[in-house]
A and B are shown apart, each in its own frame.
Chain A
């Protein structure tokens, strides 16, 4: 039975929306204000004189600030995508083994993974900094990709092995009888069925790598490998008492857009219960 939405529902709905979206609206609004408007200290919500200047500066290779920002954006995309890809590939294989095979030390692998996931990132910054300098990984893409994978793999493995366990054994056996090798059965039957899990793991990994700040600021020294969150802390402007709020807001908006696009693209994939109808019932 469908219940009609009461007034209480609507009020709660609006309160939550405002609570969540007001900061976002504020950032968007800020990004359209000129430098003068943010420094004069007369706050009003909507820009008096909306301008695309901030976007033009930040997305311009020839402007020094824009140049650094664009480099950071490329680093962010590269590092996050590579870390996500590798993490999901490894996690899929590992989770499949954990879900399907009996081997010694399976529990150890799972509990170690959980322990790593719970480890505070900050405590590793010092040792990693020293190690990466020795290994010549400091201020390189792999220098960030490797720790990102370390922290995202456990979660991805746990998520995916739960998905794999849900898939009936018969699926694979049927594929093998139909003439598939183990690898073909895995690739053509198991992975598509676990797709919601794979996407979930991929998105979680991507967000972690995309948003990460502590490692990004500590293990880089130039725009050669610095990511956007770290780069944004270098937006100081000429006057240390008057940070370029408008530019910061613009950078925040730009860096949020990919996240929103990804969520919109994949939310249906995540929600879709693909296994329905596999077996009787």
Chain B
């Protein structure tokens, strides 16, 4: 087991396009690190540079204390689970799992003992004599993991391992991976585009966008203190609402009305002109279910209501001024989304009686509103002490 340190890693392709640009990440021994971002953000490239399948253009890659930039994959002692599993179809499950040990020249008795231990852990005992072609998706996934855990690798690398499974199996395997990692206590790097996997599995999460590290923090820090618009929009489902806002004193003017901000937040946002206010859907509620809870309320017409039992999503359309509309469209593109008309999503309590078309009174928890600079995308109200590492902030501050 070992730590993994990336210092100013750059990956430039032949045409000069930087797929990964100046990324520095420290992964502690035994830590579960998630690399997350929309497609094309360089997360898989970064993982492949750790394992040695891609050359590193510049920067240092350290495993433990050893610089591994120029080492071949086989000399790095890492185990990897590929997105499509990459099982050897001509070998049985047993031989697939034994493959790394056979290459290392281990004696048969040791191989047998280790393969049986791995297969017992992953409940593959009854399938050992079968070929991968006859297994289900979940079983193949487990064989791929067996091949990884059978050797005493310094770290596990996962490249979107669950993306080929259906939703139910994905949930089960996610818990399984988490349990396995906790038990083995092995350093793990896990690439995904799925923010649920990112939030639930990781000790820390590195959010990437177009090859640049946006923020490196724990899931909670990312959720509560996103460093910029991109991270704020990427983490959370349904995503955070972005509303045009101007701050005067401690009052923020939103399209639906005014809300009172906490003084410290208002102070940081002062003098910036038009801002984007980021409010998570769950910071709203039906005012009638929150009587006497403080905070501000406003009236708005609800266009669509989705009742899910434990909560209700209310969609409230609004018009964004042209200054921020373009910024919001760009953000949607960055997040792999469709640029749709601007609307606010409010997650109301499940016992709210608001119906579609109602003129409803909505309550909002103003203490958790974030304010973003629409030009730079920076979060002006970020609590830097509880936001992990935000490379952008360090260079501009």
* Cα separation A25 to B90 with both chains bound (whole Å): 40
- A192 contacts the other chain (CB 8 A): yes
* Cα separation A278 to B87 with both chains bound (whole Å): 5
Is the Cβ of B89 less than 8 Å from the Cβ of A278? yes
Is the Cβ of A170 less than 8 Å from the Cβ of B86? yes
Minimum CB–CB distance from B90 to chain A (whole Å) comes to: 5
Which of A168, A173, A275 has most chain B Cβ within 10 Å? A173
Known: A177-B53, A178-B147, A179-B100. Contact between A274 and B90, CB under 8 A? yes
Known: A173-B73, A176-B53. Contact between A280 and B89, CB under 8 A? no
Minimum CB–CB distance from B170 to chain A (whole Å) comes to: 13
Q: For B82, give the chain A residue with the smallest CB separation.
A: A170
- A30 contacts the other chain (CB 8 A): no
Which residues of the partner chain A approach B140 to less than 8 Å between Cβ atoms? 277, 280
From 186 to 220 in chain A, residues with beta carbon under 8 angstroms from any chain B beta carbon are 188-189, 192-193, 195
- B396 contacts the other chain (CB 8 A): no
* Cα separation A277 to B89 with both chains bound (whole Å): 6
Q: B128-145 toward A: CB 8 Å interface, digit per residue (1/0)?
A: 000111110100100000
Minimum CB–CB distance from A66 to chain B (whole Å) comes to: 45
Which residues of the partner chain B approach A180 to less than 8 Å between Cβ atoms? 74, 103
* Cα separation A81 to B82 with both chains bound (whole Å): 40
Which residues of the partner chain B approach A193 to less than 8 Å between Cβ atoms? 88-90
Which residues of the partner chain B approach A178 to less than 8 Å between Cβ atoms? 74, 79, 99-100, 103, 147, 151
- B345 contacts the other chain (CB 8 A): no
Known: A177-B78, A177-B80. Contact between A279 and B104, CB under 8 A? no
Which residues of the partner chain B approach A176 to less than 8 Å between Cβ atoms? 52-53, 72-74
- B363 contacts the other chain (CB 8 A): no
Is the Cβ of B164 less than 8 Å from the Cβ of A280? yes
Which residues of the partner chain B approach A184 to less than 8 Å between Cβ atoms? 103
- Among the listed B79, B88, B133, B137, which residue makes an inter-chain contact with A171, where contact means beta carbons less than 8 Å apart? B88
Which of A181, A189, A192, A277 has most chain B Cβ within 10 Å? A277
- Among the listed B53, B72, B80, B132, which residue makes an inter-chain contact with A277, where contact means beta carbons less than 8 Å apart? B132
Minimum CB–CB distance from A178 to chain B (whole Å) comes to: 4
* Cα separation A274 to B133 with both chains bound (whole Å): 9
- Among the listed A195, A276, A280, which residue makes an inter-chain contact with B84, where contact means beta carbons less than 8 Å apart? A280
From 160 to 183 in chain A, residues with beta carbon under 8 angstroms from any chain B beta carbon are 168, 170-171, 173-181
Q: A241-281 toward B: CB 8 Å interface, digit per residue (1/0)?
A: 00000000000000000000000000000000011111110
Which of B85, B89, B164 has most chain A Cβ within 10 Å? B89
Minimum CB–CB distance from A148 to chain B (whole Å) comes to: 30
Minimum CB–CB distance from B129 to chain A (whole Å) comes to: 14
* Cα separation A171 to B84 with both chains bound (whole Å): 10
Q: B184-195 toward A: CB 8 Å interface, digit per residue (1/0)?
A: 000000000000
- Among the listed B51, B72, B80, B90, which residue makes an inter-chain contact with A192, where contact means beta carbons less than 8 Å apart? B90
Q: B63-93 toward A: CB 8 Å interface, digit per residue (1/0)?
A: 0000000001110001110101111111000
Which residues of the partner chain B approach A274 to less than 8 Å between Cβ atoms? 89-90
Which residues of the partner chain A approach B74 to less than 8 Å between Cβ atoms? 176-181
Which residues of the partner chain B approach A181 to less than 8 Å between Cβ atoms? 72, 74
Is the Cβ of B79 less than 8 Å from the Cβ of A177? yes
Is the Cβ of A279 less than 8 Å from the Cβ of B84? yes
Which of B51, B103, B131, B133 has most chain A Cβ within 10 Å? B103
Minimum CB–CB distance from A278 to chain B (whole Å) comes to: 4
Q: For B137, give the chain A residue with the smallest CB separation.
A: A280
From 87 to 124 in chain B, residues with beta carbon under 8 angstroms from any chain A beta carbon are 87-90, 99-100, 103-104
Is the Cβ of A168 less than 8 Å from the Cβ of B86? yes
Which residues of the partner chain A approach B53 to less than 8 Å between Cβ atoms? 173, 176-177
Q: For A272, give the chain B residue with the smallest CB separation.
A: B90
Which residues of the partner chain B approach A192 to less than 8 Å between Cβ atoms? 90
* Cα separation A181 to B73 with both chains bound (whole Å): 9
Which residues of the partner chain A approach B133 to less than 8 Å between Cβ atoms? 276-278
Which residues of the partner chain A approach B82 to less than 8 Å between Cβ atoms? 170, 173-174
Minimum CB–CB distance from B50 to chain A (whole Å) comes to: 11
* Cα separation A171 to B96 with both chains bound (whole Å): 12
Which residues of the partner chain A approach B151 to less than 8 Å between Cβ atoms? 178-179
Is the Cβ of B73 less than 8 Å from the Cβ of A177? yes
* Cα separation A276 to B135 with both chains bound (whole Å): 11
Which residues of the partner chain B approach A277 to less than 8 Å between Cβ atoms? 87, 89, 131-135, 140
Which of B79, B86, B90 has most chain A Cβ within 10 Å? B86
Is the Cβ of B103 less than 8 Å from the Cβ of A278? no
* Cα separation A229 to B72 with both chains bound (whole Å): 52
Known: A277-B135, A280-B164. Contact between A174 and B103, CB under 8 A? no
Minimum CB–CB distance from B193 to chain A (whole Å) comes to: 17
Which residues of the partner chain B approach A173 to less than 8 Å between Cβ atoms? 53, 73, 82, 86
Which residues of the partner chain A approach B78 to less than 8 Å between Cβ atoms? 177
Q: A43-84 toward B: CB 8 Å interface, digit per residue (1/0)?
A: 000000000000000000000000000000000000000000
Which residues of the partner chain A approach B51 to less than 8 Å between Cβ atoms? 177
* Cα separation A193 to B131 with both chains bound (whole Å): 13
Q: For A172, give the chain B residue with the smallest CB separation.
A: B86
Instruction: Give 10 closest A-B pairs by Cβ, nearest first.
Output: A277-B133, A170-B86, A174-B86, A279-B84, A178-B100, A278-B89, A179-B103, A176-B73, A280-B164, A277-B132
Q: What would 27 A/B residue contacts be, using CB atoms closer than 8 Å?
A: A168-B86, A170-B86, A173-B73, A173-B86, A174-B147, A175-B88, A176-B52, A176-B53, A176-B72, A176-B73, A176-B74, A177-B80, A178-B147, A178-B151, A179-B151, A181-B72, A184-B103, A188-B103, A193-B88, A193-B89, A193-B90, A275-B89, A276-B89, A277-B132, A277-B140, A279-B86, A280-B164
B contacts, CB < 8 Å to A = 51-53, 72-74, 78-80, 82, 84-90, 99-100, 103-104, 131-135, 137, 140, 147, 151, 164
Besides A174-B147, A279-B84, 15 more A-B contacts (Cβ < 8 Å) are A173-B53, A173-B73, A174-B80, A175-B99, A177-B51, A177-B52, A178-B99, A178-B151, A181-B74, A188-B99, A189-B88, A276-B89, A277-B133, A278-B133, A279-B87
